[in-house]
């Protein structure tokens, strides 16, 4: 398939007339063809108008039609074959195996949402039948379901060119909820985005859906993004990226005449706690696990372990020593973009000013490679210096040495919101862990025992979210089936005749949903 450099406004391939973005192969530092001219305000408005026109029809498609659509997108992505893999590898510097795995995750995610759509629990159907005889006043018949919020703007992420980009988690959950989607592709992988965008557009056509259900835009600066978020027809935003970018979009969304929700997944350093007994029993193994998790994918995960917390003593010394022995043999890895590589270097530079270097990985041997770094500091220094908890996106981490459990608690209370917090513990650590748990529940969306935070399962129970600045809305997850709830709102129907009720609420319960009927959940 020849890449065209064109946007997709509904089914129409359209060329922008603003400054072009162009992928750079980060492994070779060479720009790639074609150029992707950015969209202008009119083109953004056109995509939003199509999305708006498609909304009422799309949100009322049957559960089966919508689920089939999601499955068709997955099939169309798979049909792109190796071309997609090659392009994504070239645009991101990520290894083949990783991109292949990510394609599997992306298609699996779409099929998981298809299952969720069919199950229909997201409709949250509640029925309180009329009580005409009730005193002092009769009760009317009241029925609630959830409906889609409206067209959703999705911003592709740099670090998941498939799983959190054009047809990634935000798009899949918004489409599942019944929301048309307008994607702004991430500038780092426009070719990958075009391929996937065309796959989605083909699925729209194959399923006979209105074309406005999906559009794909490019843009080099903030123009397209701000135009999208401030378009009155856009009713919610999904974003994965930097804290500054997420905060800017949230502020733009709040400044609208009609403010809208923004789900921005932004910044997290993912504290890892090494409890005493675990550290004493297997400090070396923990160091091995840590270094592997830290350096995986050049450390370019939202859940990268950027902070390690332990109590001083020989066991923690051994962990640090083992880390300092392992890290020097870790190869520098190509980062996603020249911008990310240089931001990583700056972040490492800043940490170097404020903390002591424990160890470094092998130096870069090619362009845009990130050299792993581990630093160490004392708890009091950490508490005194807010810079030390700024996310450094890449394979950099800071070990915070605490004098005792009380300092561990102080450091924990001092942390900003996180996506994850990890506890390494043995039986004897349970009392200490239990004491710390309330703090961690307040701070993070996912808590792990004896694992590593990298690796985010797409399932019903996943929470990929957390208090600010991990996300802009701690009430939600961006990974897993509960992500659909971000794009829904409840509507109540009072005393409606069956002929006017949506199928989900009709008296005969034709969708066979387990409703909350008069306060009782149906079997």
Q: Which of residues 154-193 bind a copy of itself (CB under 8 A)?
A: none
* The only residue of 132, 208, 363, 497 in contact with a copy of itself, by rule CB under 8 A: 497
Rounded-to-integer distance, Cα 384 and Cα 478, Å: 32
Active site amino acids: 265, 302
Contacts of 245 (CB under 8 A, 6+ apart): 155, 239, 264, 266
In terms of CB distance, is 29 or 121 closer to a copy of itself?
121
Q: Is the peptide bond before 487 cis (omega within 30 degrees of 0)?
A: no
Verify binding: residue 492, a copy of itself, rule CB under 8 A: yes
Contacts of 83 (CB under 8 A, 6+ apart): 1, 195
Contacts of 362 (CB under 8 A, 6+ apart): 328, 329, 330, 331, 332, 371
* The only residue of 177, 279, 444, 504 in contact with a copy of itself, by rule CB under 8 A: 444
Rounded-to-integer distance, Cα 141 and Cα 180, Å: 31
CA 86 to chain centre: 23
In terms of CB distance, is 403 or 449 closer to a copy of itself?
449
In terms of CB distance, is 39 or 445 closer to a copy of itself?
445
Stretch that binds a copy of itself, among 188-196, 359-367, 403-411, 428-436 (CB under 8 A): 428-436
* The only residue of 83, 461, 507, 510 in contact with a copy of itself, by rule CB under 8 A: 461
In whole angstroms, how close is the CB of 401 to a copy of itself at the nearest point?
25
Q: Is the peptide bond before 34 cis (omega within 30 degrees of 0)?
A: yes
Verify binding: residue 507, a copy of itself, rule CB under 8 A: no
What x-and-dash track marks residues 244-263 binding a copy of itself by CB under 8 A? Answer: ------xx--x---xx-x--
In whole angstroms, how close is the CB of 240 to a copy of itself at the nearest point?
18
In whole angstroms, how close is the CB of 473 to a copy of itself at the nearest point?
8
Only one residue has tokens 């700024």, namely: 390
Going by their DSSP bridges, the two strands 444-449 and 418-424 should be labelled as parallel
* The only residue of 126, 189, 198, 243 in contact with a copy of itself, by rule CB under 8 A: 126
* The only residue of 5, 187, 306, 417 in contact with a copy of itself, by rule CB under 8 A: 417
Verify binding: residue 128, a copy of itself, rule CB under 8 A: yes
- Residues 377, 298 contacting (CB under 8 angstroms): no
Going by their DSSP bridges, the two strands 516-517 and 520-521 should be labelled as antiparallel
Q: Give the binding-site size for a copy of itself (rule: CB under 8 A).
A: 78
* The only residue of 4, 381, 489, 503 in contact with a copy of itself, by rule CB under 8 A: 489
- Residues 220, 191 contacting (CB under 8 angstroms): no
Rounded-to-integer distance, Cα 242 and Cα 246, Å: 6
Verify binding: residue 364, a copy of itself, rule CB under 8 A: no
Verify binding: residue 372, a copy of itself, rule CB under 8 A: no
- Residues 229, 236 contacting (CB under 8 angstroms): no
Rounded-to-integer distance, Cα 466 and Cα 441, Å: 10
Verify binding: residue 101, a copy of itself, rule CB under 8 A: yes
Verify binding: residue 495, a copy of itself, rule CB under 8 A: yes
Stretch that binds a copy of itself, among 142-150, 297-305, 341-349, 362-370 (CB under 8 A): 142-150
Stretch that binds a copy of itself, among 86-94, 157-165, 393-401, 429-437 (CB under 8 A): 429-437
Rounded-to-integer distance, Cα 504 and Cα 523, Å: 16
């Amino acid at each position: 398939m020849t890449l065209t450099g064109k946007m997709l406004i509904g089914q129409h391939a359209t060329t922008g007339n603003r400054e072009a973005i162009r992928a750079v192969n980060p492994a070779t530092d060479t720009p790639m063809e074609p150029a992707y001219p950015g969209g202008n305000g009119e083109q953004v408005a056109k995509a939003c108008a199509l999305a708006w026109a498609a909304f009422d029809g799309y949100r009322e498609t049957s559960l089966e039609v919508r689920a089939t659509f999601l499955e068709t997108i997955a099939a169309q992505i798979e049909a792109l074959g190796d071309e997609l893999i090659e392009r994504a590898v070239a645009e991101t510097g990520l290894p083949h195996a990783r991109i292949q795995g990510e394609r599997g995750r992306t298609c699996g995610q779409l099929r998981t949402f298809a299952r969720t759509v069919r199950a229909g629990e997201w409709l949250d159907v509640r029925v309180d039948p009329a009580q005409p005889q009730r005193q002092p006043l009769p009760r009317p018949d009241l029925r609630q379901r959830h409906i889609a919020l409206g067209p959703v703007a999705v911003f592709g992420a740099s670090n998941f060119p498939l799983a959190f980009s054009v047809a990634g988690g935000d798009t899949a959950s918004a489409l599942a909820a019944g929301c048309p989607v307008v994607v702004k592709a991430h500038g780092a992988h426009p070719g990958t985005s075009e391929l996937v965008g065309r796959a989605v557009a083909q699925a729209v056509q194959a399923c006979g859906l209105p074309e406005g259900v999906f559009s794909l835009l490019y843009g080099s600066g903030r123009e397209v993004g701000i135009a999208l978020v401030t378009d009155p027809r856009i009713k919610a935003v999904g974003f994965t990226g930097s804290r500054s970018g997420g905060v800017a979009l949230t502020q733009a969304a709040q400044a609208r005449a009609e403010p809208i929700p923004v789900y921005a997944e932004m910044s997290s350093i993912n504290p890892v706690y090494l409890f005493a007994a675990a550290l004493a029993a297997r400090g070396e193994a923990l160091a091995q696990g840590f270094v592997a998790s830290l350096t995986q994918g050049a450390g370019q995960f939202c859940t990268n372990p950027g902070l390690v917390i332990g109590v001083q003593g020989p066991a923690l010394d051994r962990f640090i020593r083992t880390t300092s022995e392992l890290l020097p043999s870790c190869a520098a890895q190509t980062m996603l973009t020249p911008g990310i590589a240089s931001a990583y270097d700056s972040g490492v530079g800043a940490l170097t000013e404020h903390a002591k270097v424990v160890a470094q990985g092998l130096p870069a041997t090619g362009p845009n490679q990130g050299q792993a770094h581990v630093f160490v500091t004392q708890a009091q220094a950490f508490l005194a210096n807010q810079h030390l908890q700024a996310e450094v996106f890449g394979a950099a981490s800071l070990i915070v040495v605490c004098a005792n459990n009380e300092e561990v608690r102080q450091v924990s209370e001092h942390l900003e919101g996180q996506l994850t917090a990890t506890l390494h513990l043995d039986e004897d650590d349970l009392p200490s862990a239990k004491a710390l748990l309330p703090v961690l529940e307040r701070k993070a969306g996912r808590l792990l025992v004896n694992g590593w935070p990298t690796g985010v399962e797409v399932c019903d129970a996943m929470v990929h979210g957390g208090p600010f600045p991990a996300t802009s809305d701690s009430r939600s997850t961006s990974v897993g089936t509960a992500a659909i709830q971000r794009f829904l709102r409840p509507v109540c129907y009072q005393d409606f005749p069956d002929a006017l009720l949506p199928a989900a609420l009709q008296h005969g319960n034709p969708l066979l949903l387990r409703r909350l009927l008069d306060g009782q959940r149906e079997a």
